Amino acid sequence: MSLIKNSSYSRPGDFWKNGYLQTIIPSLFRKVRGVRYSRERIDTPDEDFLDLDWIQSGHERLVIISHGLEGNSYRHYVKSCARHFNQNEYDVLAWNYRSCSGEINKNLRLYHHGDTDDLEQVITHAIATRRYKKVVLVGFSMGGSTTLKYLGENGPNVPAHIVAAATFSVPCNLWDSAHQLTFKENWFFKQRFLKKMIKKVKQKHKQYPNEINIRGIDEIVSFGQFDERYTAPLHGFKNSRHFYRTATSDLHYPGIRIPSLIVNAKNDPLLGKECYPYKACKYHDFLHLETPRAGGHVGFYKPGAKTSWMDERALEFVRKFARL
């Protein structure tokens, strides 16, 4: 069975039992020092670009880290993971989704949860241009969704270099996760995401004034409205319903053929019931589901510690199931 019943994560005190606090406090206040990247820009087949941030120390193993919605390689959870793996004899590649590296991308399109083409190119590039013997994937929130969808879509055709994956706070069912942001208690998260996404569409409008209409954009109050008006048409979906139905990662879990971990805290304010795929994982030979009672969304904070529990858990899983 692939349901991990006893998680090693426990909240550090009663103050941390609140999933909202466990999410917000690390996001706003946690600082991770000592991470120095070297940036590489690669071209995409559609004449756009991706920015890759490397830590190359001459190791034979590589971890590829995918960030969350409107995040980047400098988010605290990415840098913490990068530092922890590098200190344990891994090179690091933390890549930035299109438009997330600090410079808006060239093309009309941006990125979305189900966009696996760019991740595939990043993986192919890393394997083809370096001499790594083993590669592991780590994804957070949206990055976890993209990682799992990529593994499931490709199944036995995933490069043999890739030996394991660990994902955290994954919106396994895209519609259910978006639905959580309609609740009053999630107003802070909804506003924070929408503000960033609307700002980015306005930047894209300056590049493509005839293709993108921003009239009334500041009146958008939900993810459903935003995805219907922008995410879906910019990325080839008929509408938001089509986007949620086809871009979601849980459709592809049966195809996963390498040891993969999903860690979703039960008090994650951004995940609904469908984001805890107990049935899909119960008898899966490769997909493992761990649902700690606490942790929030990309939280799992350890006050005063240099590492996050997510860093430690990802490395522990990789070592156990991939024998690394």
Type of residue numbered 163: V
Identify the bridge partners of residue 52 per DSSP, sorted by sequence position: 40, 95
Q: Which CATH number fits the domain 3-174+252-322, given the four candidates 3.40.50.10490, 3.40.50.1820, 3.40.50.1100, 3.40.50.970?
A: 3.40.50.1820
Residue 84, pLDDT > 80, answer yes
For residue 176, give the H/E element and its range. helix 174-180
CA distance 307 to 241: 39
Q: What angle do CA 176, 21, 76 make, to 5 degrees?
A: 85
For 216-231, write each residue's pLDDT tens digit. Answer: 999 999 999 999 999 9
Give the pLDDT of residue 202: 97
pLDDT single digits (tens) 195-208? 999 999 999 999 99
This prediction's pTM: 0.96
Q: Return mean pLDDT, the chain.
A: 94
Assign residue 4 a region: left if phi > 0, alpha if psi is -120 to 50, beta otherwise? beta
Q: How many helices (H) and strands (E) does the chain have?
A: 11, 9
Average the pLDDT over each of 4-18, 65-79, 89-103, 302-316 and give the range with the smallest value: 4-18
pLDDT at 6: 86
For β-strands 91-96 and 49-55, DSSP reports them as: antiparallel
Residue pLDDT, tens place only, 137-190: 999 999 999 999 999 999 999 999 999 999 999 999 999 999 999 999 999 999
> Is 81 within 8 Å of 75 (Cβ atoms)?
no
- Please report the pLDDT score of residue 15 as a whole number: 57
What is the tens place of the pLDDT at every residue in 270-288?
999 999 999 999 999 999 9
Domain ranges in the chain?
Answer: 3-174+252-322
> Given this model, what pLDDT does residue 30 score?
87
What is the residue type of 138? V
